[in-house]
Chains A and B, each alone.
Chain A
Amino acid sequence: MNSLYLKNGLRFFVLVLIQIFVLNQIRLGGYINPYLYVLFILLLPFETPHWLLLVLAFGLGLTIDVFSNTMGMHTAATVLMAFARPGVLKMIATKAQYESGVKPGIQDMGFPWFFSYAGILILIHHFLLFYIEVFRFSEFFTTFFRVILSSIVTLCLVILTEYLFLKIKK
């Protein structure tokens, strides 16, 4: 149990650092802003109490917000994503899954499951995030384009990271 906390805490830190100091500095063509930090919410264990899920998402979003001077935007998007997570899990569940001890990753659940799981949640997160930005700026369809492109890049990064850690574990 202790190692679980440690692992998730470490993951929180590393993802926030990567997000702030690497990914936030990259602007691919002005359209694509990957947000890898959502991986933290994706990889929380299935047994995580729902309220804890929301609180953790709130903390994560707030941290990112504070560091990128976008008060509340990431918080709102991440909390929504955390709220959607149990529903999405139920939606794409197949029999005999989500047993205790099983982790929501490619290793335990397989690639197709993880792909749809991460894809849906990342889309939800990016939609809210980019459209909150739109409230402040304009250009509706450009934003839509940005949501799709950024989601694809984030998803790729998430899957890449997953495979990276798979190798380390072996």
Chain B
Amino acid sequence: MRYLFAFLWKHNFFFLFLILEVIAFSLIANDNYYQSTTIINSTNRITGSVYTFTNNVSEYFHLRQVNKKLAEENARLHSLSLKAFLKNDTNNFFVNDTFYRQRYEYISAKVISNSTGKRNNYLMLNKGRNFNIAKDMAVISAGGVVGIVKEVSENFCSVMSVLHKKTKISAKIKKNNQLGTLVWNGQNATIGSLTEIPTHVLLVKGDTVITSGYSQLFPEGIMIGTIKDFYIAKGDNFFTVDVKFSTDFNAIGYVEIVKNLMREEQKELEDKAIDKKDE
């Protein structure tokens, strides 16, 4: 017996190694061994909090990707929402077996260049003809109206911002449906003016201004901004209303391009009507 101990002691290095390896391999074999799971659980409470912290940090670096995904998701949901559909005439329900027909399609895009300081401002988006973007499509963001597509290339499109001399958007006051035209006077990138509001209309500061939906470009009810101030300019019979844009034009990242699927039809009809009148 003594010789055995002496032998073991002499080769303690090897036997200790053997014992430790056996323990290690038994740990591997019994991965769900009670002790090991309790060790894992108790330490995970510690590591968990640190992992959460590192995750919070690394998440920040993925924000760009996440934003993109969310923008796409938004566009998809917008396309599905009822507002994007035009209620069919019930008389036609034999022809069209769907109750709603899609009228607007939303395509998300990223702003790759933008300006607000000039008199006529343009934005550049990263979607073009390859996504069936065409001239005169409306561009909106989560905040509200952004502009109108003016030029389209293969992969990009140039958008005439609301902050442009030629921009005229058919708008209305949400509360009482009073119709006006939104223009930008070029002074302040956060303020637009709503013109052609008759003076008999009761206006309240803070009222919401939305798109009217009459222009074939913007769907109805897209947010433009809120009334900041109103006055009657000298020699004018209408109110001029200062509208604070809900869109922060300085901080536009992702936008949605609105495609009016029935625009051709509407335009054709309108042209016909005008032709008739001319005759």
Q: What mask results when residues 1 to 38 of chain B are scored 1 for a CB within 8 Å of chain A, else 0?
A: 00000000000111011001101111111110100100
Determine whether the beta carbon of A76 is less than 8 Å from that of B28: yes
Nearest B residue to A57 by beta-carbon distance? B20
Distance of A143 Cα from B272 Cα, bound (Å):
73
Point out the residues of chain A lying under 8 angstroms from B16, CB to CB.
50-51, 54-55
Q: What mask results when residues 50 to 76 of chain A are scored 1 for a CB within 8 Å of chain B, else 0?
A: 110011011001000111010111011
Point out the residues of chain A lying under 8 angstroms from B20, CB to CB.
54-55, 57-58, 75, 79
Other A-B contacts than A67-B43, A71-B40, A76-B21, 5 sampled, CB-CB below 8 A, are: A54-B20, A76-B25, A79-B17, A79-B20, A80-B21
Distance of A20 Cα from B21 Cα, bound (Å):
23
Total number of residue pairs linking A and B with CB closer than 8 Å: 66
Q: Nearest chain A CB to B22's CB is how many angstroms away? A: 10
Q: Nearest chain B CB to A129's CB is how many angstroms away? A: 11
Which of B12, B27, B47, B50 is the one whose CB lies under 8 Å from A72?
B27
Interface status of A46 (Cβ within 8 A of chain B): no
Point out the residues of chain B lying under 8 angstroms from A140, CB to CB.
none
Q: Which residues of chain B in 47-62 are interfacial with respect to chain A, using CB atoms and an 8 Å cutoff? A: 47, 50, 54, 58
Q: Nearest chain B CB to A123's CB is how many angstroms away? A: 18
- Taking Cβ atoms with an 8 Å cutoff, the residues of B that contact A are 12-14, 16-17, 20-21, 23-31, 33, 36, 39-40, 43, 47, 50, 54, 58
Which of A58, A76, A86 is the one whose CB lies under 8 Å from B13?
A86
Q: Nearest chain A CB to B16's CB is how many angstroms away? A: 5
Which range holds the interface residue count of chain A? 20 to 34
Question: Could you name 6 residue pairs across A and B whose Cβ atoms are closer than 8 Å?
Answer: A51-B13, A66-B39, A67-B43, A72-B26, A72-B29, A79-B21
Distance of A50 Cα from B12 Cα, bound (Å):
9
Determine whether the beta carbon of B13 is less than 8 Å from that of A75: no
Q: What mask results when residues 78 to 102 of chain A are scored 1 for a CB within 8 Å of chain B, else 0?
A: 0110110010000000000000000
Distance of A66 Cα from B29 Cα, bound (Å):
15
Determine whether the beta carbon of A66 is less than 8 Å from that of B43: yes
Nearest B residue to A83 by beta-carbon distance? B17
Nearest A residue to B26 by beta-carbon distance? A72
Nearest B residue to A68 by beta-carbon distance? B47
Distance of A21 Cα from B47 Cα, bound (Å):
9
Point out the residues of chain A lying under 8 angstroms from B23, CB to CB.
58, 72, 75
Q: Nearest chain B CB to A55's CB is how many angstroms away? A: 8
Determine whether the beta carbon of B13 is less than 8 Å from that of A50: yes
